[in-house]
Amino acid sequence: MNRRILQILWCICLVFSSHAYAQDNLSALIPMPNKVATSSKAPLVLQGDKVACYIQVDSLQFELKTVASLFQKRFGLKVEQTQTSADAQIRLLIDKSLKKNDHYKLSVNNKRLEIKGASAAAVFYGLMTLDQVLAGDVCATKQQAISAIEINDCPRFGYRALMLDPARNFLPVNELKFYIDQMVKYKFNVLQLHLSDDQGWSIWIETYPKLAGNRFYTKQDIQELVEYAEQRHVQVVPEIDVPGHTVSLLAKYPDMACIHQREAEKIIGKTGHMMLCAGNEEVYVMMDDIIREVAGMFKSPLMHLGGDEADIPKNWAKCDLCRLLMKKKNYTEPVQLMIPFFENILASVRKYGKKPILWFELNNEYPPADDYLFPYPKDVVLVSWRGGMTPTGLDLSAERGHNVIMAPGEYCYYDYPQYKGDLPEYNNWGMPMTTLERAYRLDPGYGRPLSKQQHIWGVMGALWGEAIIDINRATYMSFPRAFALAEAGWTQMENRSWESFKKRVLPNVNELMKAGVSIRVPFEIAR
């Protein structure tokens, strides 16, 4: 989308928003903090062209840079570090009495602005909230003042993720950085990268150089990205999808396919429904090498290994090697081969210091389903994704002691169109429509009692890449629906309201558009 179109849309958005929302220090808060107290007491008035900031520890240097950028943007003022707390109008502090890692307190009175956090990440989230306070309270901001307010806030869930798919359409590192910059404004702290699929392999593997296509991430690229994300308190989680979704691998290394598929045509981007052979020991040698290299590039303690949409009847059920393994294991059904397959794969994941994540599959692709596809090892974190299947999966995982990440497709798949007639311009399998309101209606706990929600790690929005031609399309499909997910992941249900949220959306749309972000303007909620 070119700059001229962005400017036109921004103007239209401003027209709508100027009539649609109040301008105060709560009007742009997304996600809504869990405890807020506004005040009519005297504001903090900023005088002169400089503001003194005290940081308690050197680990808050990035937060110092962040508040300096924020004050330059909102007030045109320079922030300078002071070594004396009493001299500072801004104080950024670590408070170990705050027990949850992301817990922060933001306080503004007529003397100073203070943010206390349990960690540097928590202080950073306090600054993101402050930026939204200032964005909403434009009358005070224009007068070089910050209205008095007290916020005591920590998230409902610790894991708040978005997923991009550079395997299908490659996104350069600078574009991933741009996406991270938008994520963190809404307190997302995980970026999952779907690095391999039938359509492509997007990371260089030194041991198997034929894997990578024309565009891929080098080890240096990943190091640069991980460091950039880490500074902003985002962990980057790699995903290598097996045993299905592997045509890009099998096209280059056909001996890793089931015996009857080795000579079959494999066209990257067109061929599908092929799998790694469960009965071939060389598959596990190869995957151990791949996992070792990928694990060494990423600092995250997590690694995703796929496990979804395996077309077992067309592959393992017809393969002589797989049948031999079934006989050896006394299995009666080919699906049972998922047990030894993932025993091998996950042993490598653990060996290289990572905790495994898999897509959550049940024993039927559509309701009704009443059991796991296969017995998942206890240390596997499961991502619930299939439309309509999440309540069953949520209950089963609670019973069996598995942690889960909630990414139900009907709420959290951002490749789905946002409105009738909207992008994507093609319909590859009959995508449902996921409006902003639909996305907001997600309750990650599905109304279960709190005792049945303790295994929920958090939430994830997934943007599959078939139609994501560049970062502009990625942000357009993500936002504003990711606003809704941010609130689902952070804000307790009793503090959430669709009527409140839709008023808070529009100033955030304005903010992103002013920052040059391609975003869908949700005209339907401005009526």
Q: Which residues contact 362 (CB under 8 A, 6 or more apart)?
A: 369, 370, 371, 372, 373, 386, 389, 392, 393, 396
On whether the CB atoms of residues 248 and 195 are closer than 8 A, the answer is no
CA distance 356 to 367: 26
* Half-sphere exposure for 225 (CA within 13 Å, toward CB): 28
Neighbours of 258 (CB within 10 A): 25
Neighbours of 41 (CB within 10 A): 11
CA distance 295 to 299: 8
Two tokens, residue 520:
């869908």
Q: Single out the residue of 336, 460, 375, 348 nearest to residue 409, CA to CA.
A: 460
Q: Max Cα separation, the chain?
A: 81
pLDDT at 17: 47
Q: Single out the residue of 332, 306, 318 nearest to residue 262, CA to CA.
A: 318
Q: Single out the residue of 234, 229, 352, 218 nearest to residue 296, CA to CA.
A: 352
CA distance 203 to 215: 8
CA distance 268 to 250: 9
**Signed CA dihedral, 420, 421, 423, 429: sign only:** positive
CA distance 425 to 423: 5
When the candidates are 2.60.40.420, 3.60.10.10, 3.20.20.80, 1.10.1200.10, the CATH number that belongs to 159-526 is 3.20.20.80
pLDDT at 483: 99
On whether the CB atoms of residues 189 and 488 are closer than 8 A, the answer is no
Amino acid at 168: R
Q: What is the pLDDT of residues 75-132, one digit of tens each?
A: 999 999 999 999 999 999 999 999 899 999 999 999 999 999 999 999 999 999 999 9
Domain layout of the chain by residue ranges? 35-153, 159-526
Report cis status (omega within 30 of 0) of the bond before 301. no
Angle at 514 between CA 512 and CA 45, to 5 degrees: 95
Q: Single out the residue of 441, 446, 346, 440 nearest to residue 396, CA to CA.
A: 446
Two tokens, residue 444:
């990650």
For 307-360, give the DSSP string.
--S--GGGTGGG-HHHHHHHHHHT-SSGGGGHHHHHHHHHHHHHHTT-EEEEE-
What's the distance, CA 8 to chain centroid? 29
Provide the 3-class DSSP secondary structure of residue 91: strand
Q: What is the pLDDT of residues 123-156, one digit of tens each?
A: 999 999 999 999 999 989 999 999 999 999 999 9
Task: Indicate the CATH number for domain 35-153.
Answer: 3.30.379.10
Per-residue pLDDT of the chain (527 residues; tens, 9 = 90+): 454 455 455 555 554 444 445 689 999 999 999 999 999 999 999 999 999 999 999 999 999 999 999 999 999 999 999 999 999 999 999 999 998 999 999 999 999 999 999 999 999 999 999 999 999 999 899 999 999 999 999 999 999 999 999 999 999 999 999 999 999 999 999 999 999 999 999 999 999 999 999 999 999 999 999 999 999 999 999 999 999 999 999 999 999 999 999 999 999 999 999 999 999 999 999 999 999 999 999 999 999 999 999 999 999 999 999 999 999 999 999 999 999 999 999 999 999 999 999 999 999 988 899 999 999 999 999 999 998 999 999 999 999 999 999 999 999 999 999 998 888 876 556 788 999 999 999 999 999 999 999 999 999 999 999 999 999 999 999 999 999 999 999 999 999 999 999 999 999 999 999 999 999 999 888 76
Residues involved in catalysis: 309
Element spanning 459, H or E: strand 456-462
* Helix and strand numbers, DSSP H then E, in the chain: 16, 19
pLDDT at 94: 98
- 270 burial (CB, 10 Å; 0-12 / 13-18 / 19+) is exposed
Tell me, letter by letter, the H, E, C secondary structure of 110-131. Answer: CCCEEEEECCHHHHHHHHHHHH
* Half-sphere exposure for 268 (CA within 13 Å, toward CB): 21
* Helix residue ranges, H only, 163-235: 173-183, 219-231
pLDDT at 426: 62
Neighbours of 502 (CB within 10 A): 21
On whether the CB atoms of residues 155 and 489 are closer than 8 A, the answer is yes
Q: What is the pLDDT of residues 458-479, one digit of tens each?
A: 999 999 999 999 999 999 999 9
CA distance 317 to 266: 19
- 313 burial (CB, 10 Å; 0-12 / 13-18 / 19+) is exposed
On whether the CB atoms of residues 68 and 130 are closer than 8 A, the answer is no
On whether the CB atoms of residues 374 and 308 are closer than 8 A, the answer is no
On whether the CB atoms of residues 493 and 439 are closer than 8 A, the answer is no
pLDDT at 18: 44
pLDDT at 229: 99
